[in-house]
Structure 1
Amino acid sequence: MLRDLAEAEWTRRAGLATLTAALGAENIRWVGGAVRDSLLGQPVRDVDCATLLTPDAVIDRCRAAGIRTVPTGIDHGTITAILKDGPVEITTLRRDVATDGRRATIVFASDWREDAARRDFTINALYAHPETLEIADFFGGLADLTARRVRFIGSARARIAEDHLRILRYYRFQARFGSELDTEAEQACTELAHTLKGLSRERIAAELLALLALPDPHPTLERMRTGGVLGVILPEACAAQLAALERLIAAELRQGFTADPVRRLAALLPPSPDVAETVAARLRLSKAQRNRLVTAAERKADDSDNPHALAYRLTMPLAVDRLLLLGSDARALAEWQIPEFPLKGGAIVARGITAGPAVARILQMVEQSWVAEGFPGPARIEQLLTEALDGYSPAG
């Protein structure tokens, strides 16, 4: 059973009341994820607003009410209102006049149903009155939400032809909300999978990572693989790699680690740094994401021999990635803080070694022994330094 929208905290925010007064309750409706997720009793982050007003009128009315605005997507009719209790995206009603699968040419509209008709799924086309919270449902979204069914508005093939990214959005939404599969949608996504090749790599990466961040994307990714969809965007993800992902998800859950999409992407790839580099470049991942993917691909069986040493060498997140991907226990790192090597070059110079490369070499020798012995305290560090100095040869 769906929740009462009035139970949602965000519907009582003072900032939204101020925005409603500024724009006029008759001119706006809350729409999209906030409405959908609240009906399901799930937490809400962002609130979106649809409006009959043009962007210029929105800016003028907000200015008069002392509300700052940012033209975040003004070419598509979107203005962001900056409120104390969170920003709100306000988008003028639209209809598409031309689409090519990657982008749409739109004109502003004045009919709520017309605006709803251009949205992707029925569960995303629920409009809530800002004061009464009465929901306008033009395409059976409430029934689909109750049935946990993700269904395209109108013809699935036609909607995908308008924007090919809707294939990946369908799988992500189905993994998040769905229990009952929509046969038409599944068939359309399979038949039109090849159209994903025309999309920007950044858009594909964003959707793929969003899917991988969900609690258990494995069943959905398996359907994408058997349907030929996953092979278009990530051909490296064979059946064996899907099995590796399934094991990783089980390990994350069993050991209490938060799901991480980049770690899960690493599970979908063979443990090859070259492959990781190729995929990171293809998906236009950030430098940090690329480094994480490549480091995970460099995992070796003996990484699990000394988890603390691994974390000291790689950083905690990278060590956890490797251990979980290897099927090892990473819980030894959960409450552990990486220590700082306390020995400084000055202590070595004070023992008679001339400042320069020799000091760096001795520091490295002592540090390696300190890590190997499990990060002992000051007394043992002093012993390790003495041993290193006793064995030091200037010629070496």
Structure 2
Amino acid sequence: MDEALLRAVVPTVIGVLGRRGADFAAAEDAVQDALVEAVRVWPDDPPRDPRGWLVAVAWRRYLDAVRADTSRRRREERVEDEPEPGPAATADDTLQLYFLCAHPSLTPASAVALTLRAVGGLTTRQVAQAYLVPEATMAQRISRAKRTVSGARFDRPGDVATVLRVLYLVFNEGYSGDVDLAAEAIRLTRQLAAAVDHEEVAGLLALMLLHHARRPARTRPDGSLVPLAEQDRGRWDTRLIAEGVDLLQGALARDRLGEFQAQAAIAALHADARTAEETDWVQIAEWYDELVRLTGSPVARLNRAVAVGEADGPRAGLAALAELDPSLPRYAAVAAYLHERDGDPVTAARLYAEAARSAPNLAERDHLTRRAARLNTERRG
């Protein structure tokens, strides 16, 4: 059973049903039923045309559902002539599904869940495990999202920027349960890059690859975090780095800079440094200036303060930080790092402990707690 093949053809099958008259929610439900049947049947009797098989079975499931709903008899009359099984249409509906799942009426969490289900082909159980919520909770979230977009047409233009933000949210969820969401986000973004020629799509894919290349070096065997400056760069995936840099260069050559290209440029400069000491912080600070200009993001300003602190000294970084709202996530952690660099271990230890109390996950909390403890121990010794 080729699970990757099943997931890859899901958008096309949903699109075929949509063009035949099914609304999105009904089409997606029918395709999920067909996938369950494929898992049961294919190991003993694999089809010669997997996509055509899924279209035929999903269409029958859809018709069964329509016929069972007596309130839709008129609609049944329009669709009762079932097409003969045969090779499925080759039109690629992946792009339309991306736009549909990134509908502006959806919350970010719902858009991500629907994208993973409809475009990624993941089951509700897999999506629930990835987000560490009960399956029933995720089923309700996906059902509400499907109802929201059920009346949307498949042929309307969508907002690429919204789709990219959803994919970036998926990527940043990382790994939990039995689904590697970072790898899944890369797979989906590759699909999007194949369907649309857009410099920011290439920029996001480059950014994901450059970050993912460092993944093997990010944690120790006990699960504790390894800061970028302390990572074993020999464990970075040079193949992914080369691909990411190539994609970025192609995107930048089009001279239509966007936020994901700017972030990818920063990641590329980190990847290019053979040691932490060789990092070109001056260029990184300049790219953060571009990112702030493009987005005005407080998070970009926070990261810029770190870059300025590395390029021009910790006092300059603290001056840049002083312009920001202290309630920003990670503000205390950045302030702690800059005070540590500035030779003020007392303030740094206090801020590391403060940052640990509001850390978003256990690994980061433990890392910050250890930093505080180390500084306190060194000071007392």
TM-score (norm 2): 0.32
Query: More strand by proportion, 1 or 2?
Result: 1
The structure richer in helix per residue is: 2
Say which structure, 1 or 2, has more relative contact order (CA 8 Å, 6+ apart).
2
Larger Rg belongs to: 1
Q: TM-score, normalised by structure 1?
A: 0.31
